[in-house]
Amino acid sequence: MSLSRRKLLGTAAVAAAAAKAARAAPAVSRPVAVSSANGMRAVERAVRGMNAGEDPLDAAIAGVNIVEDDPADMTVGYGGVPNEEGVVQLDACVMHGPTARAGAVASLEGVKNPSKVARLVMQTTDHILLVGPGARHFATMNGFPVENLLTEKARKVWLFWKQNLSDNDKWLEPDPAHYDPDVKAFIDEFGWDDLRRPKSGGTIHLSALNARGDLAGCTTTSGLFFKMPGRVGDSPIIGAGCFTDNDVGSAGSTGRGEANILVSGGHLTVEFMRQGKHPRDACLMTLERIARTTKERRLLNAQGRPNFSIAFYAVNKQGQYGGATMYSHGSTGKRRQFAVADASGARKEDTVYLFEGRV
Ligand code: ASP
């Protein structure tokens, strides 16, 4: 598909989303928290915290901690899928609207709540981003225990990936009739149709707005599955995985971090909101920018569209919110959604999207 055709499609999608929103015109309420679809309990916790007077960033972090601690979520924190060497390396960042400060850690090993470490980088240092052994040393100095973050399920999935990686090594491919149940469950969850090129999917971003109109954002992840050791994605990059401006709004992302970093998507989404765009449309416009700037053939499908999934989530100072995805459906055929909580409780809503269909 030509670039102009792709652009047209995106513009139509933005206009259609705006028209639909104008018809629906939901009442806005504060506090509100918006996150990726895996954050139902997180947005609920964040809003509960803000209702009790918690700072929006503390509420956001308490929310995402639930997901970091949960071994069943294999894309964040404890139980995350490891890198190509079987080591879990975590990335996270936080941004606090009222003070315009931020903190982040990347390639952090052995500490299951990187979002809490990122907050301490923000609060207690002159720096914004600590990585690798430096981040770990900082965490242990602050009393964080060092734990084994690789669960049995994640280890089995990693070994299975290694066994299927190549015909030219000494590993034999497991017999499909006898796959381990944990591995089978993982394949079903993530739509792993090509065993050598598993799709990644996960991370949690959460943006929060309290009743006074103060904003915060937080993103935390174990990163792309089987990434190279030391690879840092968008999640800990302020301006990419997360960006918060207390005068405007907060936004963040999940999905292919490399694509987000190239457009500084978190910052771009906030800038679109600054221009008056609804958060949902701002997210969609950032995806449009990513589609337009994705030029490498290996990253495009037969229609010339990005062949990866990526999503943005945003809330503005008024309490309007939105979530947008590159495709309407995930690789398993599930409709893409995001999580939100406000005075009406916590729920999932369908994302708006640039392209109809599965990634
Ligand atoms: N954005 C994350 C990263 O690139 C991965 C994901 O959300 O799936 O590390």
Please report, in tens digits, the pLDDT of each residue of the chain (359 residues total).
343 444 444 445 555 555 555 445 557 889 999 999 999 999 999 999 999 999 999 999 999 999 999 999 999 999 999 999 999 999 999 999 999 999 999 999 999 999 999 999 999 999 999 999 999 999 999 999 999 999 999 999 999 999 999 889 999 999 999 999 999 999 888 877 776 666 667 799 999 999 999 999 999 999 999 999 999 999 999 999 999 999 999 999 999 999 999 999 999 999 999 999 999 999 999 999 999 999 999 999 999 999 999 999 999 999 999 999 999 999 889 999 999 999 999 999 999 999 999 98
pLDDT given for residue 26 in this prediction: 56
Whether 230 and 132 have beta carbons less than 8 Å apart is answered as yes
Ramachandran class of 335: left when φ > 0, alpha when ψ lies in -120 to 50, beta otherwise: beta
Whether 78 and 68 have beta carbons less than 8 Å apart is answered as yes
Residues with CB under 6 A from ligand 1: 200-203, 221, 223-224, 233-235, 254-255, 257
Full domain range(s) for residue 353: 5-73+198-216+234-358
In sequence order, the 6+-apart residues with CB closer than 8 A to the CB of 300 are: 294, 306, 307
d(CA 108, CA 139): 9
Nearest atom of ligand 1 to the alpha carbon of 257: 4
Whether 336 and 343 have beta carbons less than 8 Å apart is answered as no
* 106 domain residue, yes or no: no
| Residue of the CA atom closest to atom 4 of ligand 1 | 257
| Residue of the CA atom closest to atom 6 of ligand 1 | 255
pLDDT given for residue 191 in this prediction: 78
* 95 domain residue, yes or no: no
Residue 204 alpha carbon to ligand 1 centre in Å:
9
Alpha helices in the chain (DSSP H): 3-24, 40-51, 56-69, 114-124, 132-141, 152-164, 181-190, 257-263, 265-274, 279-293
CATH code at position 50: 3.60.20.30
Residue 317 alpha carbon to ligand 1 centre in Å:
26
Residue 23 alpha carbon to ligand 1 centre in Å:
33
Name the burial class of residue 53, with classes exposed (0-12), middle (13-18) and buried (19+) by CB atoms within 10 angstroms of its CB. exposed
Nearest atom of ligand 1 to the alpha carbon of 201: 8
d(CA 279, CA 209): 13
* 263 domain residue, yes or no: yes
* 183 domain residue, yes or no: no
Task: Indicate the angle between helix axes 181-190 and 152-164, nearest 10 degrees.
Answer: 80
Residue 241 alpha carbon to ligand 1 centre in Å:
9
Mutate to test the pocket of ligand 1, among 224, 227, 264, 308 (most ligand atoms within 8 A of CB): 224
Whether 42 and 339 have beta carbons less than 8 Å apart is answered as yes
Helix, strand, or coil here: 40?
helix
State yes or no: is 254 an active-site residue: no
Residue found under tokens 């015909």:
167
Q: Name beta bridge partners: 205.
A: 219
CA angle, corner 72, sides to 250 and 140, nearest 5? 70
pLDDT given for residue 4 in this prediction: 43
* 274 domain residue, yes or no: yes
CA angle, corner 232, sides to 192 and 334, nearest 5? 30
Residue 137 alpha carbon to ligand 1 centre in Å:
24
Q: Which candidate in 75, 151, 203, 325 is catalytic?
A: 203
Which whole-number Å values give the CA distances from 284 to 16, 105, 113, 159, 350, in the listed order? 11, 28, 30, 37, 13
| Residue of the CA atom closest to atom 9 of ligand 1 | 223
State how beta strands 352-358 and 321-329 pair.
Answer: parallel
Using the 8-state DSSP alphabet, how is residue 325 labeled? E
For residue 303, the tally of other CB atoms under 10 A from its CB is: 11
Residue found under tokens 């055709």:
5
d(CA 135, CA 114): 9
173 phi, psi to nearest 5 deg: -70, 135
- The total number of structural domains in the chain stands at 1
pLDDT given for residue 192 in this prediction: 77
* 257 domain residue, yes or no: yes
Question: Which helix or strand (DSSP H or E) is residue 204 part of?
Answer: strand 204-209
pLDDT given for residue 16 in this prediction: 57
Ramachandran class of 349: left when φ > 0, alpha when ψ lies in -120 to 50, beta otherwise: beta
Strands of 345-350's sheet in order across: 129-131, 101-108, 90-96, 215-221, 204-209, 32-36, 337-342, 345-350
Q: Name beta bridge partners: 242.
A: 238, 252
* 146 domain residue, yes or no: no
* 134 domain residue, yes or no: no
